[in-house]
Chains A and B, each alone.
Chain A
C-alpha cells in the first residue's frame, strides 16, 4: 500500500512542480526585457555606460612617457615594443617607437600598474575590428621626440580617457581614399 501511495504521490508532485515552474516562466513574459540593443538603442555612447575601471584598449600619452620600458618588461606576452635611442650630440634620449600589439594584448593591466608616470593606461574603447591583423599594432609615437622629464612632486597633466586611442581606431577604420593620404597614421606602424 505504501508503494502505491508513493506512486501517486510522485505523479502529484510532478504535476504541481512542473505547473508552478511553468507559472514562473509565464510571468516572465510580462516583464520588460532588461537587455539593451547594441549599438543603436543605447541611451548614451556606450563608452560612457561602461564601469569606471573597465579595461579597454591600452593607450599611451607621448608627452608623459619617459621611455623607461618598465611596462614592456612587465608585459607577460611581450606585446609592447619600445625603441629609445640616445642622441650622441645633445645626450638626449629620443623615443622613436612605442608599439602596442592589441591583437596580442590580454588586458591584464600589469603595464598600467608598472608605469610610474601615468603614461600608459586603459581606455574604455573596445571596438577594435580591423580587416588586417597587422593594423592592430598601434604606434603611439607620431614624431620621434625627446622623452618626458617629469619634475618631482608635480602631478602629470592627463588627457581625457580615450582621447588618444580614439584617433588611431578611427584612422584604421577610415575609408580607403583617406588611408593612403595620411601616411603618418599610427595605425600603419609596420
Chain B
C-alpha cells in the first residue's frame, strides 16, 4: 500500500498537506476494500457451508435465489439488516451494543495483513503473524462482553466458555506458529511466503516431519479458536440455545455471524501462508512473478484456491465430528496439543541445528516428507472409495443439480406457488 501511495503522490507531483490528504484517502479506500473483501468472502462461505452440508446429508441445499442459489447469502444479509435490533430490558445497553463491534473489528482487522498476492496486501507488517495473533484476541473481549452484557444465563456460560477456550488454545496456536518462524527467520507474512516455493516439497508443511505434525496441531487449535465444530462449545445449540449471541438480533447478530465465517477464511489463509506456500506458483520464482501482471493474477488465484480448500475442510469437519465435552476440550488442549507443540518446536530447533539450510540432505528430507504426505492422501482416497463402494450408490458428480425440470404441471395441483401462482391467477381471471 505504501508503494501505491508513493506512486500516486510522485506521479501527481504532490507535496506537503495535499500529499498527506491523498495518503489519508488511500488509507480509507484500502480499509473499505479490505472490509468489503472480508464481508464478501464470509458471505460466500455461509452459502458454501449450506451447499456442502446439503450434499453431505444427501440434500440439495439452498438453490432458489439466483442461478443455483448463488445469491442466497445476499438475501440472508438483507433480511438481517431489515430485522429489528432488540436490546433486552435487563441488559447492560452500552456493553451490549459495543460487543459485536469488537468481534467484527478483531476479525476484519486481521484481513489487513493477509497476503492475497505478491503485491496484494494492505499492509505487509514486519511483525505480520504476531499482529494476526494479537488482533484476533479482541474477539475474546467482545465475546465475553456480549455474554456478560446480555444478562442471560446461556449467554453468560457461552461467553465464559469462549473466553476459556480461546485463551487456552492461543498457546498451541502460538507455539505452532513459532515453529514456522524458527525456520523462516521472519515474522512478515510476505517474508514467510518468499522463503517457501511453488512446489509441494518446497512448502513448510513438508519441510520436515515436525512441521508436518505442526500443521495438524495448528489446524486443530485454530479450529478451536474460531469456535467451530467440534469445538463450538460457546454456541452449543443443544445446551446453550445459541451461547453468547442468544440475545442478539438483526445486524448485531449478523456481525457475530459474519465474524465467525470470516474467521474460517482467516485461519485457512494463515495456514496457506505458513504451510502451503501462499501465492507461489510452481516453477515461477518471486522475482519473475513481480514483473508480470498475468503471473500476479495467477498467484492471487493460487492463494485463493488454497485457502478455499482449507475452508472446505473446516466445513467438512463440521458435518462429520460431534461436539466435545468441556472437560474433553480442555484435556485435549493441555494434555495433548501443548506438550506436542513443545516437542515439535524443540524438534524443529534441533533439526535446524543438524541441517542448516539449504543442503542436499535437507532436500532429501523434504522429498521423503512429501512422499509420506502423498501416501497418506492415497490411503485416504482409497478409504473414500471403499466407503462409496459399500454404500452401493452410483457416482454422481453433478454438484449443482436441482432435480429434473419440466415434469411439473401446476394445473394438476390444487394450488400453485410463486410464479406458477401468478400464471394460475391470470388464467382464472381470463375465464
Contacts and interface: CB of A to CB of B under 8 A. Distances in A.
A40 B410 CA distance: 8
B414 A169 contact: yes
B55 A28 contact: yes
A1 interface: no
Interface of A: 10-11, 18-37, 39-47, 125, 127, 166, 169-170, 173-175, 177-178
A23 B380 contact: yes
B428 interface: yes
B177 to A, nearest CB: 21
**Which residue, of A23, A25, A28, A40, has the highest number of chain B Cβ atoms within 10 A?**
A40
Interface of B: 52, 54-60, 63, 316-317, 319-321, 336, 380, 383-388, 391, 393-399, 401-405, 407-409, 412-418, 420, 425, 428-429
A23 B56 contact: no
Given A30-B395, A39-B408, A177-B429, A170 B58 contact: no
Label chain B's interface by main secondary structure.
loop
Given A32-B394, A36-B403, A40-B408, A173 B54 contact: no
B403 A21 contact: no
B414 A175 contact: no
A174 B407 CA distance: 24
Contact of A127 (B57, B320, B415): B415
Contacts of B397: 30
A2 to B, nearest CB: 16
A11 B213 CA distance: 12
Nearest to B403: A41
A188 B428 CA distance: 19
A21 B230 CA distance: 13
A138 B149 CA distance: 51
A125 B386 CA distance: 43
Contacts of B391: 27, 31
Contact of B414 (A19, A30, A125): A125
A90 to B, nearest CB: 38
A127 B316 CA distance: 36
Contacts of B398: 32
Nearest to B382: A23
Contact of B58 (A26, A33, A166): A33
Given A25-B320, A33-B55, A44 B407 contact: yes
Given A31-B58, A125-B414, A22 B388 contact: no
Nearest to B63: A37
Given A18-B321, A36-B403, A27 B388 contact: yes
A26 B60 contact: no
